[in-house]
Copies of this chain bind each other. A is one copy, B any other.
């Protein structure tokens, strides 16, 4: 329970509306894992799906009820529509499926825009209102707490406020606790939306909730504005997942409510978990985390030095809207072509290296970074390579785990159209000279495979290391010499993982294979340094 208790609801619909996002397809196990993470964060309500309409959702509720889901904070919610027009509520199969889901709370969706009632539902306002009233009352009589999602409310209210309000009244007459005003098409802007919310609260006195889509890029802002106008129930999805442009992002909404409006809408200790939970939920959804997401993105507190670097060092709070620790995130200073001493000093501190006492080394590193960046290197996304550079300058690096003698890559496009990539490496590792050959589906893949084949018998930790991501950027050659576009410099970024952490390395060369080789080597040297240290 949060300090605000039932007086303010954080209502998560990642599993229902969030699952509408193009590309998301949760298994039932995924859904259970998502629910547990959301519960650990302390949200008040978790909308699990639409039983009866979606077979996976029906199974999710069945397995949850059978004991596979034990919630500490949240109440589980089933979503569904009202009885059909002209059908008795107790005979409506979908309403019965809602009861069968055995959740303490049900959200009912209902039309509140007269055009939708008449053109999509093909009934009239009176019957629509009866459908709402009957269904809410039936579920309340069966012991459920009921919230009403008033679909297309803002468009409907603008078109015909009487109809929109009559739908809300019918729900409350039936016994609904909260009427949720939905910006289903996502066309609202905050000032207008806040006015409407305040108007509805003033006219009805009902407890009002808000549900926003992000089609104007204002879903978070609209949600916050609604709260400022009197809403006490916010519907969000993790990372803003949802149909079209998505929904209001749970993490930004909660971040704003807590740190900007001072509303303790989550248990106090949960705020520092926002970043971790956001990334874990992205993992389950199989969507790369948005690096630039507010509050929780890996770049959300990343500063490209330049203008502010020296000042940031002295006074970080002058340059961040909140302390990143609050939400479990980190401040990072990006080392770029504008890099100076101040930003490298800060960077060193991130790596646990105190450069203030090594002014000469710092001078050398600054010079080296500038030279490299002039040649196309970029360390802003390659912390691991920068760390190696710093440590090399400070003579803090051990012997490298292996030394290359030579490699050869052969790529054949055969007469029959078959393409074969083969690489041979000759390396010295653990006192031995090793030669290994492997094939791959491209030159870099083949080289990586050959290197692994050569090293694995001697470096057992290599087994856990995998390539997560591989990025290539062609940098134009100098303007005068660019006779051919292929005459350019190639920058390769490699993200590696050992199952526990990720690190990124960079390689730059006129030859894409050599650039990739450099980044691959840095990745292994960086891992080796950690292995040595943890043993030492």
What residue of chain B has the Cβ atom nearest to residue A338's Cβ?
A: B54
Task: State the Cβ distance, A180 to closest chain B Cβ, in Å.
Answer: 16
Distance, CA A408 to CA B444, complexed state (A): 16
Judge whether A514 is part of the interface by a CB distance below 8 angstroms: yes
Would you list which residues of chain A between 1 and 37 have a CB under 8 Å from chain B? 20-23, 25, 27-29
A224-B189, A444-B512, A494-B485 given; A29·B476 CB < 8 A: yes
What residue of chain B has the Cβ atom nearest to residue A331's Cβ?
A: B244
A244-B299, A321-B216 given; A470·B466 CB < 8 A: no
| Count of residues in A whose CB is under 8 Å from the partner chain | 128
Q: Please indicate the chain B residues that have their CB under 8 angstroms from the CB of A474 in the complex.
A: 470-472
Q: Please indicate the chain B residues that have their CB under 8 angstroms from the CB of A216 in the complex.
A: 220-221, 252, 255-256, 260, 294, 321
A120-B315, A467-B484 given; A286·B479 CB < 8 A: yes
What residue of chain B has the Cβ atom nearest to residue A151's Cβ?
A: B307
Q: Please indicate the chain B residues that have their CB under 8 angstroms from the CB of A214 in the complex.
A: 292, 294
What residue of chain B has the Cβ atom nearest to residue A412's Cβ?
A: B408
Query: Which of B243, B306, B380 is within 8 Å of A303, CB to CB?
Result: B243
What residue of chain B has the Cβ atom nearest to residue A484's Cβ?
A: B467
Would you list which residues of chain A between 390 and 430 have a CB under 8 Å from chain B? 404-415, 419, 421
User: Which stretch in A343-351, A361-369, A435-443, A456-464 binds the other chain?
Assistant: A435-443
Judge whether A276 is part of the interface by a CB distance below 8 angstroms: no
B511→A441 contact, CB < 8 A: yes
Judge whether A228 is part of the interface by a CB distance below 8 angstroms: yes
B299→A245 contact, CB < 8 A: yes
Q: Please indicate the chain B residues that have their CB under 8 angstroms from the CB of A220 in the complex.
A: 216-218, 221
Query: Which of B27, B286, B442, B475 is within 8 Å of A486, CB to CB?
Result: B442
Q: Please indicate the chain B residues that have their CB under 8 angstroms from the CB of A81 in the complex.
A: 307
A445→B22 contact, CB < 8 A: no
Task: State the Cβ distance, A121 to closest chain B Cβ, in Å.
Answer: 8
Distance, CA A308 to CA B213, complexed state (A): 15
Q: Please indicate the chain B residues that have their CB under 8 angstroms from the CB of A306 in the complex.
A: 20, 53
A304-B243, A476-B469 given; A191·B194 CB < 8 A: yes
Task: Digitize A105-130: 1 where CB-to-B-CB distance is under 8 Å, 0 elsewhere.
Answer: 00000000101100110000000000
Judge whether A353 is part of the interface by a CB distance below 8 angstroms: no
Distance, CA A220 to CA B444, complexed state (A): 42
Task: Digitize A311-349: 1 where CB-to-B-CB distance is under 8 Å, 0 elsewhere.
Answer: 100110011111000000000001011100000000000
The A interface is mostly helix, strand or loop, or mixed, namely mixed
Q: Please indicate the chain B residues that have their CB under 8 angstroms from the CB of A441 in the complex.
A: 487, 510-511
Judge whether A291 is part of the interface by a CB distance below 8 angstroms: yes
Judge whether A225 is part of the interface by a CB distance below 8 angstroms: yes
A191-B225, A286-B473, A318-B115 given; A244·B484 CB < 8 A: no
Would you list which residues of chain A between 35 and 94 have a CB under 8 Å from chain B? 53-54, 56, 81
Task: State the Cβ distance, A524 to closest chain B Cβ, in Å.
Answer: 14
Would you list which residues of chain A between 187 and 244 have a CB under 8 Å from chain B? 187, 189-191, 194, 214-218, 220-222, 224-225, 228, 240, 243-244
Q: Please indicate the chain B residues that have their CB under 8 angstroms from the CB of A321 in the complex.
A: 185-187, 215-216
B466→A483 contact, CB < 8 A: yes
Q: Please indicate the chain B residues that have their CB under 8 angstroms from the CB of A421 in the complex.
A: 511
Task: State the Cβ distance, A504 to closest chain B Cβ, in Å.
Answer: 11
Distance, CA A219 to CA B483, complexed state (A): 37
Judge whether A522 is part of the interface by a CB distance below 8 angstroms: no
What residue of chain B has the Cβ atom nearest to residue A256's Cβ?
A: B216
Judge whether A268 is part of the interface by a CB distance below 8 angstroms: no
What residue of chain B has the Cβ atom nearest to residue A511's Cβ?
A: B442
Q: Please indicate the chain B residues that have their CB under 8 angstroms from the CB of A56 in the complex.
A: 337
Q: Please indicate the chain B residues that have their CB under 8 angstroms from the CB of A97 in the complex.
A: none
Query: Which of B224, B302, B444, B485 is within 8 Å of A467, CB to CB?
Result: B485
Q: Please indicate the chain B residues that have their CB under 8 angstroms from the CB of A225 in the complex.
A: 189-191, 221
What residue of chain B has the Cβ atom nearest to residue A468's Cβ?
A: B485
Distance, CA A322 to CA B338, complexed state (A): 42
Distance, CA A511 to CA B443, complexed state (A): 7
A22→B381 contact, CB < 8 A: yes
Judge whether A490 is part of the interface by a CB distance below 8 angstroms: yes
Q: Please indicate the chain B residues that have their CB under 8 angstroms from the CB of A445 in the complex.
A: 484, 486-487
B119→A315 contact, CB < 8 A: yes
User: Which 4 interchain pairs have the tightest Cβ spacing?
Assistant: A221-B221, A187-B321, A467-B485, A217-B252
Known: A245-B297, A409-B410. 9 other contacts (CB 8 A): A22-B381, A187-B321, A189-B228, A215-B321, A216-B255, A216-B260, A245-B299, A406-B415, A467-B486
- Could you show 27 A-B contacts with beta carbons less than 8 Å apart? A22-B381, A25-B473, A54-B338, A113-B318, A152-B318, A190-B224, A191-B228, A214-B292, A215-B300, A215-B321, A216-B255, A216-B256, A217-B295, A221-B225, A244-B292, A244-B300, A408-B411, A409-B443, A411-B411, A411-B513, A419-B509, A445-B487, A466-B483, A466-B485, A469-B485, A472-B474, A472-B512
